[in-house]
Structure 1
Amino acid sequence: MERGGFVVVNGKGARRLRAGHPWVYGSDVVEERGEAGDAVTVRDGRGTTLGTAFYNPQSTIRIRLVSREPVEVDDGWFRERIDRAVAYRETLGIDGDSLRLVHAEADGLPGLVVDRYGDVLVAQVGTAAVERHLEAVVEALVEGIAPAGVLLRGDTAARGREGLAREDRTLYGEVPQSVVVREGSVRFRVDLRGGQKTGSFLDQRENHLLAGRLARGRTLDVFSYAGGFGLHAAWRSESVEFVDASGPALDTARQNAALNGLENVTFTRANAFNLLRERSDAGESYDTVILDPPAFAKTRREVGKALRAYKEINLRAMKLLAPGGHLITCSCSFHLSREEFEETLRRSAADAGAVMRVLEWRGQGKDHPELLTVPETRYLKCAVLQKT
């Protein structure tokens, strides 16, 4: 812990911390002393110590609690937290060689994400405190995992909010432009420097595998990106059509299909809303429809618009489904709650005149853990429905 660094929070901030949430915003700070990247003691207005937190006076989120006790945040502290996070993943029995090893607040390491793609690690750093100890973080990863290389994907907006330079750089060893990884029985080529997030959507792994078990007949994979859902679905489907507005994304999906020797696939570059409307108006029918759109609501102000978008695509998908067909539909918009998403699906079914059986509600993979007291760690919603 940095000597002398402290933050005093008001009643609202103290209640938030005592309720289990690690963040306190600048508006709830009464007094503060320290520099960006310090680990500071947090106290309430009565002088009671509430714990130790990462601190950054430049950030809207002024502190991120890492312990409810006074602790020394040094290189050894980071090593212990990383070792604990990696040990947890070893208990999950993940069917694949790509996974999330460190999931920021959910592993007690605010601002640090580490993903494994085969023998390469890709890290994202979004707090000044982690940036200050980055060398120790890399040493812990190298000693604990022995990767061939470690890449920093420093292109996130979070770095800008923390006053950190936005840059990509190799932190250890050698990192290729892309690697081939396995997810169940499917192989993917992942663009480590140019792909979404750290290269791929690892949080959907378990939902991809589910698609591989449920899909059948004629399958439509909308917002397909690099083919995560559709490639799994192709093993059981008669045919799979990948739909995306991005030409490069479809090129990647096409390459991944070839990598797996799949020939029952087609690729359509189109606006998803237009295609779903045109197909449903034409009376087309599918046995499986998969919807995995980007976040329609990146802020709370966008929720109303997002609800209309989710309703439209799900209404159309329900109309397209043949009796007995499956709909796998997702939302990664944190600002849209599970309850709001469920109500939107309910209204979609009513307007489509479809009776939809709920088979399962799912979220992100277990290597992206949720914390019960931190709603922000629960962001991915996935509904598995069947048309009766």
Structure 2
Amino acid sequence: MSEAPFIKLKANAKGRVLAGHPWIFANEVEELLAADYDGQVVEARDRRGRMLGSGIYNSRSQIIWRRLAAGSISLDGGYLRTRLSDAVERRATAGNASFRRLVWSESDGLPGVVVDQFGDTLVMQVQTLAMETHRDEIARILLDLTGAVEVIHRDDASIRRLEGLDRGVSTRSGTEWEPRWMTIDGFDYWLDLMSGQKTGFYLDQREQHAHLGKQVAAMVAAGRRPRVLDAFCNQGAFALHAARAGAAEVLGLDSAADAIAQARLNAERNGLTHTTFEEANVFDWFTANRTATWDVVVLDPPPFAKSRKALAGALRGYKELNLRALQCLAPGGILATYTCSHHMQDAELRQVLAGAAADARRQVRVVEFCHQPADHPVMLTMPESEYLRGYIVRVD
């Protein structure tokens, strides 16, 4: 019986895989396997030859190996059904049965596979060669497990190029998925799942949308009708929750014209006429409106740090943004601030916020520590699986 193909760590390699991380990089192994093994399952061994696990291999990627299991496995229909069934079952206890993340990559044992559910439609992103070869089978199993009727393949992410994969958007049925109204947490949203940002809606912020609404409602109950600024508003979810909770005025800002158009449509559909949206660069807007005063400010920007090298500049950007927000908040106001970059850890976000508070000469107290919801599970040995964090703070 021939020996299973394997890669072996260099003698001096101190790869994170030794501490449980599921990735191995090309510069950490003694020798790459032939390209014939790209997209297949191979074993990984430490410098002494001890088994580290089985994973998917791709010599064209900087991340050449991604763990599937601690022992030997076959990437077949049985493996896929087990992993997908487990993923769906985990979400069954988290509620939100119609709108949720079903699969979160390595956190669910399916590296490079991300699936969000929007009612009877699943939006799937595949970003690894091995999973690409099983894409149709994954879709078929998920339809069977969930009762959904359609899968949109959002294979348009630029990261696919790192695995040697083509980009495109299609549906399993071959029929164009028409934009439509869908109700999420009591609000109607006009969703275009084939061309919207990410998978069509920021499901990872659903809990925070509701939490912000509760903060506004508490202000109203205390006799204060807050003015709310929703920066980087995208489709306007934070703004809509604030408006329905009783805010006197809500302004949403975003630099994307299509997002602003959607937000306006959503506000009109939900009868929230005291909510307005402007297309604007948020940094420039703060500069031009230094004297404006708000009772609540939401900062939910796109990831400034898309790589570790970009982190230093990103931290400066986050600090400037939070400083501007703190300077325009009325006493007793609320700041809800978030980052969706996994390169920015909680300690760094806290340092940024503390530095901005000191520069603004404001007393800031934490109301809530924020993080991604349970349907986006975090692997303790994989920091990259945790990317969304934030703070809701009261400013005096």
TM-score, normalized by the shorter chain, greater than 0.5: yes
Distance 2:266 2:12 in 1: 50
Equivalent residues of 2:171, 2:177 under 8 A apart: no
Whichever residue aligns with residue 362 of structure 1, its letter is C
Distance 2:152 2:140 in 1: 13
Query: For 1:173-184, what aligned pairs fall within 5 Å after superposition?
Result: 174=175, 176-184=177-185
Equivalent residues of 2:204, 2:376 under 8 A apart: yes
After alignment, is 159-168 or 33-42 more displaced? 33-42
Distance 1:379 1:119 in 2: 27
CA shift, 1:32, in A, is 4.1
Residue aligning to 2:260: 250
Computed over aligned residues only, the root mean square deviation of the Cα atoms, in angstroms, reads 1.8
CA shift, 1:69, in A, is 0.9
Equivalent residues of 1:150, 1:173 under 8 A apart: no
Residue aligning to 1:111: 112
CA shift, 1:276, in A, is 1.6
Q: Secondary structure at the match of 2:387?
A: coil
Query: For 1:70-219, what aligned pairs fall within 5 Å after superposition?
Result: 70-94=72-96, 97-172=98-173, 174=175, 176-215=177-216, 216=219, 217-219=226-228
CA shift, 1:13, in A, is 5.5
Equivalent residues of 2:367, 2:393 under 8 A apart: yes
Query: For 1:291-310, what aligned pairs fall within 5 Å after superposition?
Result: 291-310=299-318
Unaligned runs of 5+ in 2: 220-225
CA shift, 1:14, in A, is 7.0
Aligned length: 384
Q: Secondary structure at the match of 2:154?
A: strand
Residue aligning to 1:264: 274
Check 1:157–1:343 CA distance in 2 against 1; reply closer, same or farther (3 A cut).
same
Whichever residue aligns with residue 101 of structure 1, its letter is L
Whichever residue aligns with residue 50 of structure 1, its letter is L
Residue aligning to 1:279: 289
Equivalent residues of 2:370, 2:389 under 8 A apart: yes
Residue aligning to 1:385: 393
Whichever residue aligns with residue 166 of structure 1, its letter is R
Residue 221 (structure 1) aligned to one of 218, 222, 230: 230
Q: Secondary structure at the match of 2:172?
A: strand
Distance 2:176 2:109 in 1: 27
Large movers: runs of 4+ above 6 Å: none
Check 1:273–1:230 CA distance in 2 against 1; reply closer, same or farther (3 A cut).
same
Instruction: Give the percent of matched residue pairs that are identical in Structure 1 and Structure 2.
Output: 40
Q: Secondary structure at the match of 1:30?
A: coil
User: Does the alignment pair 1:59 with 2:61?
Assistant: yes
Whichever residue aligns with residue 377 of structure 2, its letter is P
Distance 1:233 1:72 in 2: 49
Check 1:174–1:321 CA distance in 2 against 1; reply closer, same or farther (3 A cut).
same
Distance 2:28 2:53 in 1: 16
Distance 1:360 1:187 in 2: 27
Distance 1:138 1:44 in 2: 35
Residue 311 (structure 1) aligned to one of 319, 322, 331: 319
Check 1:40–1:202 CA distance in 2 against 1; reply closer, same or farther (3 A cut).
same
CA shift, 1:106, in A, is 0.8
